[in-house]
């Protein structure tokens, strides 16, 4: 057997018997074409000797080559192969033994099993490292966010305390001085400016109390929200002719409610109560709080004169602003009223969704 490399083509001549095939022929990586040259002995008509061959390891059956004495293959993948060839004489008798050539196509280093195993291990290691880094960054982000929330809560506590202690005290003092000036006024009648100052001071104190309540992080629960709405409703109608009824759950869960949600819900309820006092001419108002899972329903119902909801844009009662406040929290406002049959204002809010919006 003789073999030589020529421009990435192996030209192989088979001249050995099967039992003397020897070690496999090594074919270098990247060879694009292999040619096998073979011959058969015949003393009568050698040019009429017929051949057939096959390459074991590549697949396929015997190939009838006729009198052709060369077989060629394009690129072979790395691996072990055996080229077999057999001849047929003039009488049509095929050689049983034939001849063979064992060869091994050597792979590039990146085609070897150890390289693939190393690459797979490296990929797994890089993936694990990236996953660890992502997990670490997420944890760091959560820690930073928790620290920011704690810092914000401390600042909210400070602001609510300062407003209550400083601004509240000053407004209370203004109210007291105004009341004293009214009592000391000559002829028993106080100037209208003093009455306006006293009224404005009381309104500012009420607004300040609502702001302090909304800012203070200790009130970020449903329990505090419900109690504050009840207290505010009772105080709002205490000195009026409107009878106030309250309908609350037997248990008030201590679920978290963001300051934004509490503040907007309070303003919606406050506006609804204000509409009852100013426009409804009602003798009775009812505040209802209901929980269905995590969904909060608050209803302000009165027995007043009612109105046509389609004409609310002309009344200036703030229903559009109320609906917009709830939409910001993922809730909705429902208005049911008929002229002469009272009104029912219902706000619906998913506390879980409102809390999730806080984190976005």
Contacts of 298 (CB under 8 A, 6+ apart): 229, 265, 268, 269, 287, 288, 289, 290, 346, 347, 349
CB 67 within 8 A of CB 49: yes
Residue 22: what pLDDT?
A: 65
Count of CB atoms situated within 10 Å of the CB of 52: 18
Residues 6+ positions from 344 with CB-CB distance below 8 Å: 299, 300, 301, 302, 335, 336, 337
Residue 81: the pLDDT is 93
Residue 261 Cα distances to 223, 233, 292, 296, 350, angstroms: 13, 18, 18, 12, 10
Place 172 in a pLDDT band, splitting at 50, 70 and 90.
low
Half-sphere exposure of 248 (CA within 13 A, CB side): 16
Lookup result for tokens 């309540």: 213
Domain ranges (residues) in the chain = 2-108, 112-218, 220-360
Topology of the domain comprising 2-108: Immunoglobulin-like (2.60.40)
Whether 4 has a pLDDT exceeding 60, the answer reads no
Q: Which residue is associated with the tokens 């910001």?
A: 328
Task: Say how far apart CA 309 and CA 9 lie, in whole Å.
Answer: 91
pLDDT band at 8 (very low <50, low <70, confident <90, very high): very low
Residues with Cβ within 8 Å of 155's Cβ and at least 6 positions away in sequence, in order, are none
230-243: average pLDDT: 87
The residue among 100, 64, 59, 62 whose CA lies nearest residue 76 is 59
Q: Please indicate whether residue 200 or residue 339 has the higher confidence score (pLDDT).
A: 339
Confidence check: pLDDT of 167 > 80: no
* CA gap 206, 28 in Å, rounded: 92
Task: Give the position of tokens 């797979």.
Answer: 120
pLDDT in tens, 342-359: 899 999 988 876 665 555
Q: Tell me, yes or no, if the two domains 2-108 and 220-360 fold the same way.
A: no
Given this model, what pLDDT does residue 347 score? 92
Structure tokens at 143: 């820690």
Report CA-CA distances (Å) from 262 to 106, 216, 247, 360.
75, 11, 19, 17
Share of the chain above pLDDT 90, in %: 17
Q: Residue 139 pLDDT more than 60?
A: yes
C-alpha distances in angstroms, 273 versus 224, 299, 300, 316?
19, 11, 7, 15
This prediction's pTM: 0.51
CATH architecture for the domain at 220-360: 2-Layer Sandwich (3.30)
CB atoms within 10 A of CB 333: 20
Q: Which of 10-14, 115-119, 183-187, 276-280 has the highest mean pLDDT?
A: 115-119
pLDDT at 189: 60
What the block records as the tokens of 306 is 């009612």
pLDDT over threshold 90, residue 51: yes
Query: What confidence score (pLDDT) does residue 2 get?
Result: 40
């Amino acid at each position: 057997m003789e073999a030589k490399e020529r421009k990435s083509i192996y030209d192989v001549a088979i001249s050995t018997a099967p039992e003397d095939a020897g070690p496999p022929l090594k074919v270098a990586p990247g060879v694009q074409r292999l040619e096998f040259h073979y011959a058969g002995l015949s003393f009568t008509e050698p040019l009429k000797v017929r051949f057939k061959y096959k390459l074991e390891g590549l697949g396929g059956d015997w190939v009838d080559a006729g009198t052709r004495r060369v077989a060629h293959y394009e690129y072979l993948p790395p691996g072990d192969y055996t080229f077999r060839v057999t001849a047929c004489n003039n009488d049509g008798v095929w050689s049983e033994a034939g001849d063979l050539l064992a060869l091994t196509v050597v792979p590039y280093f990146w085609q070897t099993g150890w390289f693939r195993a190393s690459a797979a291990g490296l990929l797994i290691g890089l993936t694990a490292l990236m996953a660890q880094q992502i997990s670490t960054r997420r944890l760091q982000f959560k820690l930073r966010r928790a620290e920011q929330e704690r810092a914000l809560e401390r600042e909210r506590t400070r602001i609510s305390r300062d407003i209550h202690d400083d601004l509240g005290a000053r407004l209370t003092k203004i109210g007291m001085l105004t009341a004293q000036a009214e009592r000391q006024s000559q002829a028993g009648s106080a100037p209208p400016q003093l009455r306006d100052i006293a009224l404005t001071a009381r309104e500012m104190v009420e607004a300040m109390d609502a702001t302090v309540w909304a800012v203070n992080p200790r009130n970020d629960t449903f329990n505090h929200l419900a109690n504050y709405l009840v207290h505010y409703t009772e105080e709002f109608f205490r000195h009026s002719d409107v009878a106030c009824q309250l309908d609350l759950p037997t248990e008030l869960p201590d679920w978290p409610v963001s300051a934004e949600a509490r503040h907007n819900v309070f303003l919606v309820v406050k506006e609804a109560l204000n509409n009852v006092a100013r426009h409804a001419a009602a003798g009775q108002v009812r505040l209802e709080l209901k929980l269905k899972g995590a969904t909060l329903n608050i209803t302000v119902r009165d027995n007043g004169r009612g109105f046509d909801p389609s004409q609310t844009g002309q009344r200036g009662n703030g229903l559009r602003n109320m609906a917009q406040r709830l939409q910001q929290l993922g809730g909705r406002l429902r208005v049911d009223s008929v002229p002469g049959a009272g009104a029912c204002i219902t706000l619906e809010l998913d506390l879980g969704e409102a809390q999730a919006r806080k984190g976005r």
